[in-house]
Structure 1
Amino acid sequence: MKQQLVFATNNPHKVAEIQQQLGDRYAFLSLQDIGCTAEIPETGRTLEENARLKARYVVDHHGRDCFSEDTGLEVYALEGAPGVDTAHYAGPQRNAKENNDKLLSALGDRKDRLACFRTVICLVQNGQEYFFEGKCDGRIATYPTGDGGFGYDPVFIPDEGNGRSFSQMSTEEKIAISHRSRAMVQLEAHLKKQSDVARPTA
């Protein structure tokens, strides 16, 4: 039987990426799947705080162990912005095109376009909290390219992408190097270790 994991998101792109990465070993339940329709507040000042807030909300209000992630695009020339405001950089509407347009406008014709994507996962399991972090270094393009992915993928060119944006890569290629997948590898290792400990011996 597949192990069920509640993932505190309603973003189908994130669920699909993680499901593809972990395959058939786990069955993911989204917020919608467990009947959580609330707009969970993300009032933390760091990615770690926001990830914890979302995971704790599910545990406290729905009684389910849960993991949550918060991801930030950190552009060094902009002093780390958008950072914790990545999803709503251009406003509460969380519009990807508007976020990308604002970012490109903020950078203008700067030569220094180095950036990184960072994902922090918070898992609340049996009352304990665990944190896992993944990072992908790269730079911001001068204009969007590609048709795939979501969010800032059209303007983020990872160092390991042979000059292509995330949007120009297949899902498999992105998973191999992305910040989220690197954090998920650590989560998966933790879950496997916990499962091995819990498994009865002959």
Structure 2
Amino acid sequence: MKKTRVRYATQSSFKQQEVKQIILSTKFYNRFGAEVNANDHFKVMFPKVSTNEPLERNLEAMVRHKAISAYQRILEPCIVEHAGLILESYSEKSYPGGLTQPMWDALGAEGFLSSVTWAGEKVTARAVVGYCDGMNVNTFVGETTGKFSQTPRGAREFYWDTVFIPDTGDGRTYAEISAEEGGLIEKVKLSQSRKAMVKCLEFMLGQDPIMFPR
């Protein structure tokens, strides 16, 4: 079976690991009720390309810009993603949202916690995946609710994974979960990125005339 190439524009080794795991572990049911393994139909590739990321709280707006810039550089259908944290007290303003990463880069883990936890410990991790085919940009949102840890915890320091505790977990941060043997699989199952990516893959399967004859 010929696989569809998924060009995922990221230079993060952490993100590449997680995307590969998503492809390996995801199953779908097609319109005929047959089970479909994502790995049987998609081959993920990571082109070395830089993207434009305007600073906005609105993650979907950021991702649309990012997807278009990626496509302009590789001239092939491609996927991008951006994720951020949304404080429960500021959910209507999507804060900090797309500003999460520059805040984290500037302040570090301890400084970031000091700058946001005054608003309360409850937080939502939101990921937006964008797929650009050269004509349109489609966005897909995934969310995982959780809370902040009091201090950074965990050896796998993938941005704010060291301070985010998912509600559906057992009290460990993402970083603590993924650092253990087999933990990356567990973390991916909980993650907002997987939820968004699965929606994107479902969309791509729906565009395939071989998978879904019309």
- TM-score of the superposed pair, with normalisation by structure 1: 0.83
What is the correspondence of 1:1-202 to structure 2 with a 5 Å cutoff?
1-23=2-24, 24-25=39-40, 26-32=42-48, 36=49, 38=50, 40-45=51-56, 46-77=58-89, 80-90=94-104, 94=105, 98-107=107-116, 110=118, 112-125=120-133, 127-148=135-156, 150-169=158-177, 170-195=183-208, 197-199=209-211
RMSD: 2.3
CA distance in structure 2 between the partners assigned to 1:89 and 1:42 by the alignment: 14
Corresponding residue of 2:35: none
CA distance in structure 2 between the partners assigned to 1:191 and 1:21 by the alignment: 15
- Distance 1:107-1:2 versus aligned 2 partners, 3 A rule: same
Contact (CA 8 Å) 1:88, 1:99: kept in 2 or not?
no
- Distance 1:28-1:139 versus aligned 2 partners, 3 A rule: same
- Distance 1:107-1:126 versus aligned 2 partners, 3 A rule: closer
Deviation at 1:188, TM superposition (A): 1.4
Q: How many residues align?
A: 189
- Distance 1:149-1:4 versus aligned 2 partners, 3 A rule: farther
Larger helix proportion of the pair: 2
- Specify the code of the residue in structure 2 equivalent to 1:5: V
Contact (CA 8 Å) 1:155, 1:165: kept in 2 or not?
yes
Contact (CA 8 Å) 1:58, 1:65: kept in 2 or not?
no
CA distance in structure 2 between the partners assigned to 1:155 and 1:69 by the alignment: 20
Identity %: 24
- Specify the code of the residue in structure 1 equivalent to 2:108: N
Deviations 1:26-73 (A, max 9, x none): 2222231xxx3x4x2211522112111121112223211111111111
Contact (CA 8 Å) 2:205, 2:212: kept in 1 or not?
no
- Specify the code of the residue in structure 1 equivalent to 2:54: T
